Amino acid sequence: MASFYILLAILLWSSLGIVVRLSDVAIHILIFYSFVVALILQGVILTMKTYRKNIPGFKKIKYIMMFGIVSLLNMLSYFYAFKNTTIANAVLTHYTAPVIVAFLAPVFLKEKITEKVIIAIIIASVGLWIMLNGFTFQEGHNRGILSGLFSGLTYAVIVILARSYAQDFNPLVLTFFSNLAIVILLVPFVREIPLHALWSFLLMGIVHSTIAPILYFKGLQSITAQKAAVLGYFEPVGAILLAVLIFGESPSGMAVIGGILILTSGYIAITKRI
């Protein structure tokens, strides 16, 4: 069941690119207002007696808000990579995260690196490379590639922190206070309210900033960070499938082969003890 929570969260997040494309607003504006919607919804739920008792003291809350800061750095660096290099370069550098997690988890979470982890990461990495036709080295892409690598590092840190915090905090509490940190940081940079994109704020606030992270944190209560990181490879596969369904885009034969390899790595992660 824990793997199902992680997979469902990842598949929900895979639709994010479509919402970003259709919303037609600046990224920081989209993030800010969708998280405001999420905070309102989550805040109402947290007022209920069942959840109020799960709210920790300030000393612990500050650690959750630090998690939110890392999450914001991850989002901004990932989107910056999209704008300053090819989508393939951005995604490939971003998904260095599972490799980083494989080495960080034994140090910070005392998880063992198993053969199954290594095999799953190799298969998924090769699949992603094939699906996106590898790196495109062009002049002027250095900043985008470096930003993508940084987003991969921050993504890895997020997985490690999330796995650690998921053991101590209620998923809703963890989601609320990390979102709160992001909103506070973005307030100085917001000067407009684009009402035409209200639908995207509501959709992202409810689905991508509330339901998905709560499912992800709940799943991380029971599975290893390494396994969660491998399952993260399903996100680009889900994004391609949604693009086919919604925009009528046709995936290439290489994309199909790469997708099959990624699904295989996910099968290994779900069915084998890693």
Q: Take residue 233 and report the two structure tokens written for it.
A: 């490879």
Q: What is the largest CA-CA distance in the chain?
A: 57
| pLDDT value at residue 16 | 84
Q: In tens digits, what is the pLDDT along the chain, a chain of 274 residues? A: 888 999 999 999 988 878 887 888 988 999 999 999 999 999 999 999 888 888 998 888 999 999 999 999 999 998 888 888 877 788 888 999 999 999 999 999 999 888 888 999 999 999 999 888 776 667 777 888 899 999 999 999 999 999 999 989 999 999 999 999 999 999 999 999 999 999 999 999 999 999 999 999 999 999 999 999 999 999 888 877 887 787 776 777 888 898 899 989 988 887 765 5
| pLDDT value at residue 225 | 94
| pLDDT value at residue 245 | 80
pTM (two decimals): 0.89
